[in-house]
């Protein structure tokens, strides 16, 4: 009725209630909106704790996120980066990317720390090294279309964009599910697999 999207309404709420430059408060305010106003398919606080734990354990210097959406996961990842690390995030929908860009900058992250790349992942991934300077990623967070998980993992492999010992963290592989990705990860012999049990966001 308002002519604005749910994502834009969430950003307006952030502008009114969140503390600029405080990533933790940005995420808390996002959570308040999603719990009490409108549901957004963000990572959310429960699964967010898994992401935070992985970041703390791995301290990755080069992180790739597939599926920026509103920027919730991007802010979550960026606030856990060690000094000097860089995050590359890819979003295929220009409207979502426009909201995410504002969220990321509101949280206080510069383009030197977080680079948002707009375009389909299958087109962006092959250009990451040449165009964006990503030699390889220590951590990849997949939270885009589940049907693209396997295709994009294979693209990362074929373009040698995974650092030795890299971690792939993939959301929602059981529901709504990414069965082909899961089967490949478990049977190809390249990965040690662990499933983290979590509730749906919000």
Residues with a catalytic annotation lie at 143, 146, 171-172, 201
d(CA 163, CA 158): 12
d(CA 138, CA 121): 18
Count Cβ atoms within 10 A of the Cβ of residue 93 and give its class: 0-12 exposed, 13-18 middle, 19 or more buried: middle
> How are strands ordered across the β-sheet holding 137-142?
114-118, 86-91, 62-66, 137-142, 162-170
């Amino acid at each position: 009725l308002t002519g604005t999207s749910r994502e834009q309404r969430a950003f307006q709420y952030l502008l009114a209630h969140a503390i600029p430059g405080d990533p933790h408060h940005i995420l808390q305010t996002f959570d308040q909106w999603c719990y009490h106003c409108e549901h957004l398919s963000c990572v959310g606080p429960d699964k967010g704790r898994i992401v935070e734990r992985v970041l703390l354990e791995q301290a990755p210097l080069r992180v790739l996120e597939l599926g920026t959406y509103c920027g919730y996961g991007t802010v979550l990842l960026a606030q856990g980066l060690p000094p000097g690390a860089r995050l590359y995030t890819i979003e295929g929908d220009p409207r979502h990317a426009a909201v995410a860009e504002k969220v990321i900058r509101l949280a206080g992250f510069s383009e030197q720390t977080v680079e948002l790349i707009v375009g389909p992942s299958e087109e962006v991934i092959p250009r990451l090294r040449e165009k964006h300077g990503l030699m390889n990623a220590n951590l990849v967070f997949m939270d885009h279309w589940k049907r693209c998980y396997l295709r994009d993992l294979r693209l990362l492999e074929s373009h040698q964009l995974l650092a030795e010992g890299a971690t792939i963290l993939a959301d929602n592989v059981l529901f709504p599910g990414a069965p082909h990705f899961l089967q490949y990860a478990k049977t190809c012999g390249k990965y040690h697999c662990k499933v983290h049990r979590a509730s749906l966001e919000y």
